[in-house]
Each structure stands twice: as C-alpha cells, then as structure tokens.
C-alpha cells in the first residue's frame, strides 16, 4: 500500500481557547483501514469533521489525492464527493424511503441516471441484507438497519475514502454486530476507511494501523496486534486497562 489517498499535516483545531488538535499528522494509503481510538473529548470526531471540511482548521493542511481540502475553496463540493461520511445518528431523511435516501445524492450531485443509480443501490442493499427494505421508511427500521443504509448511501457516491464516526455508539448491543460485519466486509473488499470507535475487539480485527489520540495529538500508533498486546506508552496502557474487567466473585474456600 504505497498510494497515499489522504495526507494530514500538522493540523491545529481550536474552539476559542480550547485546543482540540495540536499539530496532528498522519497519512492514509489506498485500501488501508485506519482506526482511531482514545478517551472521550480527545478530538477523534473533530478530526473526521475537519477532514470533510465540516470544521475549519487553524493551522496545517489536509489533502485528498493531493488536493487541498478547504471549506472556502470553490471546488469543495467536488472534493466532498470523494469523502464518504457515516455518522452516529444516521442522518437519513425520514420522509423518503430507503432507496430514495440512497439514490438522491448520486442523482442530484453527480447527475447520474436514476436507472443506473437504482441498480447499484439495489445491489449494495442486497450485499448488506436489506434489499427487502428498499421501500421502507427509516422509522420502520431498527438502528442497525438504519446504519447499514447510511453505509450504502455513502458507498453509492463512489468515495475515495469513507469516514466512520462512532457508528455503533447509539445501537443496542445485538445490533452492533450486523453493522461491524458490514464494515469488515468492506475492508476485505479493499475500501479505504478511517474509523473512530470504542469497540476495541472490532478495532483489533479490522485495523491495518491503530492511532491512539490524547491531549490533541497522536500518543501512539502501530499495527493492532502490537498495540493491543504490547502498548509502548503508559498512557495507552492505562487506557486499554479500562476495557479489562476482573472477576469480583470469590468462592468460600478462597477467603
């Protein structure tokens, strides 16, 4: 994987006097799956929003395929078409069916024909097990189904990279697995993804590289096996220990 899709160079992001990202840099290569983890409030979701120019940065630069991402540039709409974004709360139009939600942007933004987009949308829905829901409305779907529709909607735009922002955080536990399985399938098929998640087992299973954020920067990075088995920094060690639970039950003969 040598083709760099996304370059983030020394970016800074503040809200007033509150510094969220402080000189953060990383590259994402074609077909690579990057997982970003870290404590709440460390800037994970903010980073994704900066990549998509939903938030302005105060320093550094972000480039997609060599093109500068700037919310004020004339070609920002064209650049955003190359960046898929799947949010925690789905962002589906409640008054449109599943199929209508998926085909709207490719038809309106990319000016593709309805027949072409509908055929692709139905193929993708079948791939995630939701073809029978194409005429349903979001209110008729479970949380996991809605999130899979949101993923299909992003894929139908043919993005260079897909950003996933805590996409399982709002789901009941039994719905989490169906969404994670969909994302694992995308990874196997070579999709380039940047994933923010608190699902540590999933991160270990899907990531090519893991980045641990804290204090506005990257504290540690590495391949998932080494990161989760032998974290190098004390901060990462302490963070990962919060996901470990020891039994508090004792047998009578242990007293």
SS3 251: coil
Q: What is the pLDDT of residue 162?
A: 96
Please state the domain extents for the chain. 4-254
CA nearest to 131, candidates 104, 111, 102, 159 = 102
CA nearest to 211, candidates 30, 19, 18, 21 = 21
Residue with tokens 């027949």: 115
- 137 phi and psi, to 5 degrees? -100, 155
CA nearest to 8, candidates 56, 40, 55, 50 = 50
Instruction: Provide the CATH topology of domain 4-254.
Output: Rossmann fold (3.40.50)
Q: What is the pLDDT of residue 137?
A: 97
Token pair recorded at residue 101: 């939600």
26 contacts: CB under 8 Å, gap ≥ 6: 8, 34, 211, 218, 221
Task: pLDDT tens for the chain, 255 residues: list them.
Answer: 459 999 999 999 999 899 999 999 999 999 999 999 999 889 999 999 999 999 999 999 999 999 999 988 888 989 999 999 998 888 899 999 999 999 999 999 999 999 999 999 999 999 999 999 999 999 999 999 999 999 999 999 999 999 999 998 888 888 888 899 999 999 999 999 999 999 998 999 999 999 999 999 999 999 999 999 999 999 999 999 887 654 444 444 444
> For residues 102 and 153, is the Cβ–Cβ distance under 8 A?
yes
Q: What is the DSSP string of 71-134?
A: TTSTTHHHHHTTEEEE-TT----TTS-HHHHHHHHHHHTS---HHHHHHHHHHHHHHTT-GGGT
Q: What is the pLDDT of residue 114?
A: 97
- 115 phi and psi, to 5 degrees? -60, -45
CA dihedral sign, ordered 141, 143, 147, 150: positive
> Edge-to-edge strands of the sheet including 33-37?
83-86, 161-165, 193-196, 33-37, 209-214, 217-222
């Amino acid at each position: 994987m040598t083709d760099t899709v996304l370059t983030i160079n020394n970016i800074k992001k503040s809200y007033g006097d509150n510094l969220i990202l402080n000189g953060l840099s990383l590259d994402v290569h074609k077909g690579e799956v990057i997982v970003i983890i870290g404590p709440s409030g460390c800037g994970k979701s903010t980073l994704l929003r900066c990549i998509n120019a939903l938030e302005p940065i105060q320093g550094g630069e972000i480039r997609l395929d060599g093109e500068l991402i700037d919310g004020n540039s004339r070609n920002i709409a064209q650049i955003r078409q190359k960046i898929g974004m799947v949010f925690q709360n789905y962002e589906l139009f409640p008054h449109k069916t599943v199929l209508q939600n998926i085909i709207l942007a490719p038809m309106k933004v990319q000016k593709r024909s309805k027949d072409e987009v509908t055929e692709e949308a139905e193929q993708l829905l079948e791939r995630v097990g939701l073809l029978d829901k194409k005429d349903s409305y979001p209110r008729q779907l479970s949380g996991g189904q809605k999130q899979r529709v949101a993923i299909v909607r992003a894929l139908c735009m043919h993005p260079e990279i897909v950003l996933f922002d805590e996409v399982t955080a709002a789901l009941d536990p039994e719905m989490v697995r169906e969404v994670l399985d969909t994302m694992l399938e995308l990874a196997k098929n070579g999709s380039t993804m940047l994933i923010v998640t608190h699902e540590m087992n999933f991160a270990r299973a899907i990531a090519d590289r893991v980045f641990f954020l804290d204090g506005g920067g990257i504290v540690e990075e590495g391949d998932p096996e080494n990161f989760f088995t032998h974290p190098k920094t004390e901060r990462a060690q302490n963070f990962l220990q919060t996901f470990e639970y020891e039994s508090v039950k004792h047998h009578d003969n242990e007293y």
